[in-house]
Every structure is written in structure tokens, then in C-alpha cells.
Amino acid sequence: MLQPTHQSPQVAVPADGASPARAQPSAWGRVPVRERDQDNPWHSDAVCRRDEAGLFFAPSKEPTAARLSREEAAKRVCARCPVMVECREHALLQPEPYGVWGGLTAAERRVVLARRRRRDLELQKATRTAADTIAAAG
């Protein structure tokens, strides 16, 4: 869902400040990231710009069954979005602490981030080990 992190999770506001009803999804499906630029940011094609923020962000004290149902409905919207991958990467890089972004809940994004950190540490360790082996042989 498009929303700057500095605003309340109950109000959906696109990052460019445009009206949420203005954007339409691309008729040609997903547009590769490399073809996007400042004149056509990824969020301009987001399907969620037409949907209600309540679908993507939890109201306070939401019962578990209602939360799970709402999150699944939000994920269905994300699944048909032409910029789902870009949205997900945005939420992971920010990181966005609330809501469904790119088809992932906040808890799912925390898992992805933990896996990425672990993978990066393992790669760093492997690189150091290889460098140490080369230095010792040299």
C-alpha cells in the first residue's frame, strides 16, 4: 500500500501526493524496473491506489480472525498488481513497519529481512575465508 511512513496508518496517501483515484494499472501488465524513471515512478501503477487503506492497515485492537481475513484480501489485491515486486522492495528497504506491502505483512517482511541479513553475513564470512586462504597460499 502506498503511504509515507510519517503519516497515520489509517490514511492512504500516495508518495507523490496525487489523488489515489487518479492512477490506473498498466494495460500491458508489469513494467520492468529498468524502464521506470522519475517521470513514471513504480507507485503510479500500483493497484492499491484505488483501494481503501483499511484493507492494508490494521485498525486498533483488530481481532485475529478479522486481521487474517483482511490481510488475505489485501494480498489478493497485491497479487494482481503490476508493481508488486517494486512495492515489496520499497517496504523492505525503508523498512515499512506496518501494513501489507508487496503482498507481505509486516511480520513476513521481518522474516525476509532476517534471512537477507543472515545470507549477507554468510557471504561476508565466505569471502573472508576465501581471502584468508589466498593470502596464506600467496
Annotated binding-site members: 48, 78, 81, 87
Alpha helix stretches (DSSP H) within 94-105? none
Name 100's Cβ contacts closer than 8 Å, sequence gap at least 6.
1, 55, 56, 57, 71, 74, 75, 78
Q: Alpha-carbon distance 3 to 23, whole Å? A: 14
CA–CA dist 32, 112 (Å, integer):
22
* Residues annotated within a binding site for [4Fe-4S] cluster: 48, 78, 81, 87
